[in-house]
Amino acid sequence: MLHATSPDVRELQRKQHGVVERSQLRSLGFSEEAIRHGIESGRLHALWRGVYAVGRPEVTLRGRWMAAVLSCGDSALLSHRCAGAHWGLIRSAPGIEVVVPYDVVRRRPGIRVRRRRGLDARHRRVIDGIPVTDPVSTLVDLASCMATQHLERAINEADRLDLVDPETLAGALGSLPRRRPGVARLGRLLARQTFTDSGLERRFLALARSAGLPTPETQAWINGYRVDFYWPWLGLVVETDGLRYHRTPGQQAKDQHRDQAHVMAGLTALRFPEAQIRYEPRRVQATLAAVATRLRAAAPPAL
């Protein structure tokens, strides 16, 4: 007889947000008759074929996600907007979405099941016990079903949470089939940001030249960070925030750590937001000129 108070069932239930799958119960030693009795007695409540809530029919959202993945097979992964919500990239997800390998056919009421060629262990992560698509796959899938402003926000969140930064994401797209939904659109979005950043870079470099500064090193690695502009002979680092995705509060905290690391190493660190470069160019130019003059005066004489 199946008891919801069985230690093995309790542990499985705890790990899986209150749900279990039939083959899991069989592996714990419960017979088909015991499972049937559990259903009839109200100890098990069917959610989808072969997947049950233990003890009572109500489960949390994560319980439903877990049940959906279990119902779709061992290789199934939570995907698309559900994966985005589970990773914390978006706030919520309408419905339940799961992806399975292309050779797997699953039809479950209330679950949108997508089939994908090449889906394997490389794309699998487990978050809070629930198998889910990796961050790159999740963002590609979001690009196939979300408005641009929400997709940009999801990219920002992935960067803020240190899941994947825009540059790494752009590089990863090269290994994916262009025909896969979301790949081309996400690539265009990232390329457009790069184009915008290039224009901003030209604006800033023009201001730096007008302030009397020579051409700096760009994208140099300093103190463990890649910086936008670096004048080693002055000990000057400049970051222009528009050259990365829009800074969230969490990203601003990371930027402060970067600046502090440069100051601790004896460098002068300046940071200019995109709006200031575009709309207050004289202030940017004056700041650069004043700082450069001070740094030149403080530099030891050449031998």
CA gap 126, 219 in Å, rounded: 34
> 121-132: per-residue pLDDT in tens?
999 999 999 999
- Homologous superfamily assigned to 198-298: VSR Endonuclease (3.40.960.10)
CA gap 20, 12 in Å, rounded: 7
Cβ count near 66 (within 10 Å): 26
User: Domain extents for the chain?
Assistant: 1-59, 60-181, 198-298
pLDDT band at 234 (very low <50, low <70, confident <90, very high): very high
Does the pTM surpass 0.85? The reply is: no
> 166-210: per-residue pLDDT in tens?
878 988 998 898 899 999 999 988 877 654 566 778 889 999 999
**What angle do the packed helices 135-143 and 80-87 form, to 10 degrees?**
130
The values of phi and psi at residue 60, to 5°, are -75, 175
Please return the burial class of 211, using the count of CB atoms within 10 Å of its CB with bins 0-12, 13-18 and 19+.
Answer: middle
> 25-66: per-residue pLDDT in tens?
999 989 999 999 999 999 999 999 999 999 888 999 999 999
Q: Please, are residues 79 and 98 in contact by the beta-carbon 8 Å criterion?
A: yes
